Amino acid sequence: DQQVKQNSPSLSVQEGRISILNCDYTNSMFDYFLWYKKYPAEGPTFLISISSIKDKNEDGRFTVFLNKSAKHLSLHIVPSQPGDSAVYFCAAYDSGGSNYKLTFGKGTLLTVNP
Amino acid sequence: ETGVTQTPRHLVMGMTNKKSLKCEQHLGHNAMYWYKQSAKKPLELMFVYSLEERVENNSVPSRFSPECPNSSHLFLHLHTLQPEDSALYLCASSQDWGETQYFGPGTRLLVL
């Protein structure tokens, strides 16, 4: 049973427009969420995170929104750039449980077209 | 070298071979991790070491044997693997209790 779900395997967006990547989770104990970005032949790179005490965190073009009641988070990229084309992984963990176990989604392949 | 490095980047081995994957982190972190990423599956945590002690073993078959000689180095020793073990093996590190893990580039393993 997948505790972190990214239901869209892929997303295609025009350069300059907004990219919205979605993630749902089922474990109500998760209280810290992260987004990682992965280029081919490289390991995942940390992008942005959010704690459950917040509902929004912004870093430049990247904003993560958290809706705890819906157990849903999203990553917004504005404006999207061709260099943003990569696989984006959502991850979550329970800071009150094991501090080491990140649970990942399957990833969403974002393609930003020039 | 900075960040987390992994060698080799690609490995092809037969089912009777013994090989080792190496990970090194230059971030001063105290926790290191091995993950497996199979096609169309989420990253799966295999092992966690904190301060050189194994703190989690996620029901990984014994044909995978980790070793953490110090806080900067992590090995994954492989023996008598199966073709279904072919995957991308990723190493990561983090500070104590740290939420953010920093990943290496991975080793692409093919078992024939």
| Interface contact B4-A43, CB threshold 8 A | yes
Tell me which of B2, B23, B103, B107 to substitute to probe the interface with A (most A C-beta atoms closer than 10 Å).
Answer: B103
Please determine, for residue A1, whether its predicted confidence score (pLDDT) is greater than 80: no
Residues in CB range of A41: below 8 A, 6 or more apart: B9, B105
pLDDT confidence of residue B100: 83
Nearest by CB: A105 against B6, B42, B97: B42
The partner residue sitting opposite B100, judged by closest CB among A41, A46, A106, is A46
Q: Taking 70 as the threshold, does the pLDDT of residue B62 lie above it?
A: yes
Residue A99 has pLDDT above 60, yes or no: no
On the question of pLDDT at B9 being above 90, the answer is: yes
3-state secondary structure of A84: helix
Integer CA distances (angstroms), B27 to A28, B30, B31, B84, in order: 32, 9, 11, 33
In this prediction, residue A65 carries a pLDDT of 97
Cross-chain Cβ contact B55/A34 below 8 Å: no
